[in-house]
């Protein structure tokens, strides 16, 4: 069976999403500048209308001020359009790479029907905008909430703890369903990444390594700056090894230390590399 390199798309997606988020923030700043310039231009127009209209002779300073504002407005408008195009391109490219990775993961697993993969959803939603990141600090405790989860609704906390308990009790089918329902009920919440990792672990417990790898990929590629991203990357590497793609797994596991120096999951990644026999 053909085994193509899959870490390239993983890393590309991880890099693409922060770029989209950064561009989106810059775009908001530019749009704010456009509003300020438009207001300033409107003020000048009102000054003209209250001082005689067409019969007014503008001074050199006034003309220079108007021309300067119009030039700046044209510049920021063009820059906003350029950034919107870049965001759209990043999202489209990331979506294509994610679809390619899902295809390759399916190739690596015996019995996987490529025809049932379906169409990869657009990263960030239909609008093409980058998805808002959940609250940081998602280090998962052994039997409870992630450390630093912050303020949670009573029902949100209870639902997560129920899913975590099912996972701890090795009720893998129940835990997978509960984590999936949790993410559907509380989308983009502070426990989003922890729920993705929990669902992946539950799927692994059922022997569904390919779907588990997809959950880890989603957690890592969607939220690469999250504190739990090193764990997601480590688990993705282990899943790739279980799917029979040891070279790609070794590269992925090596990236834990390279991208997240000081992470507690570097030790796990190095231990996994030793078990796989990475050089």
Separation CA 155–CA 11 (nearest Å): 35
Do 152 and 255 reside in the same domain of the chain?
yes
**Segments in the chain below pLDDT 70:** 1-60, 62, 83, 87-88, 90-102, 104, 106-111, 113-154
Q: How many Cβ atoms from other residues are within 10 Å of residue 185's Cβ?
A: 12
The confidence score (pLDDT) of residue 138 equals 40
Does 174 fall in a domain?
yes
Evaluate if pTM is beyond 0.85.
Answer: no
Cβ–Cβ < 8 Å for 226, 138: yes
The confidence score (pLDDT) of residue 274 equals 95
Do 226 and 266 reside in the same domain of the chain?
yes
- Name the region of 276 (left: φ>0; alpha: ψ -120 to 50; beta: rest): alpha
Q: Tell me the chain's radius of gyration from C-alpha atoms.
A: 25
Does 57 fall in a domain?
yes
Do 109 and 149 reside in the same domain of the chain?
no
| Burial of 4 from C-beta contacts in 10 A (0-12 / 13-18 / 19+) | middle
Does 127 fall in a domain?
no
Does 18 fall in a domain?
yes
Do 103 and 177 reside in the same domain of the chain?
no
pLDDT per residue as tens digits for the range 76-90: 777 777 767 776 676
**CATH code of 181's domain:** 1.25.40.10
Do 94 and 166 reside in the same domain of the chain?
no
Buried b (16+ CB within 10 A) or exposed e, 101-130: bbbbbbbbbeebeeeeeeebeebbeeebbb
The confidence score (pLDDT) of residue 251 equals 86
Does 154 fall in a domain?
yes
The confidence score (pLDDT) of residue 168 equals 95
Separation CA 243–CA 106 (nearest Å): 9
If one counts the domains in the chain, the total is 2
Q: Which residue range is the domain that position 181 belongs to?
A: 139-276
Does 125 fall in a domain?
no
Cβ–Cβ < 8 Å for 168, 143: yes
The length of the chain in residues reads: 279
Do 152 and 259 reside in the same domain of the chain?
yes
For residue 197, CA distances in Å to 29, 39, 102, 172, 204 come to 34, 48, 17, 13, 10
Does 129 fall in a domain?
no
């Amino acid at each position: 069976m053909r085994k193509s390199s899959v870490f390239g798309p993983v890393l590309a997606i991880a890099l693409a999403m922060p770029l989209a988020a950064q561009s989106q923030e810059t775009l908001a700043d530019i749009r704010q500048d456009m509003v300020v310039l438009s207001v300033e231009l409107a003020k000048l127009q009102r000054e003209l209308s209250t001082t005689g209209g067409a019969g007014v002779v503008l001074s050199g300073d006034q003309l220079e001020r108007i021309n300067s504002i119009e030039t700046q407005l044209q510049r920021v408008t063009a820059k906003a359009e350029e950034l919107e195009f870049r965001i759209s391109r990043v999202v489209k490219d990331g979506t294509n790479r994610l679809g390619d990775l899902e295809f390759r993961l399916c190739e690596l697993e015996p019995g996987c029907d490529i025809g049932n993969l379906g169409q990869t959803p657009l990263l960030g939603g239909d609008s093409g905008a980058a998805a808002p990141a959940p609250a940081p600090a998602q280090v998962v405790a052994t039997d409870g909430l992630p450390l630093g989860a912050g303020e949670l609704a009573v029902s949100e906390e209870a639902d997560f703890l129920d899913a975590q308990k099912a996972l701890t009790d090795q009720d893998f089918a129940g835990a997978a369903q509960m984590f999936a329902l949790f993410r559907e009920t509380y989308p983009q919440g502070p426990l989003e990444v922890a729920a993705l990792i929990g669902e992946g672990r539950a799927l692994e417990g059922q022997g569904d390594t390919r779907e588990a790898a997809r959950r880890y990929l989603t957690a890592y590629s969607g939220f690469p700056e999250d504190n739990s991203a090193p764990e997601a990357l480590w688990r993705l590497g282990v899943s790739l090894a279980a799917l029979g793609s040891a070279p790609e797994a070794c590269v992925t596991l090596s990236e834990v230390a390279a991208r997240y120096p000081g992470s507690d999951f570097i030790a796990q990644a190095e231990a996994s590399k030793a078990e796989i026999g990475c050089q």
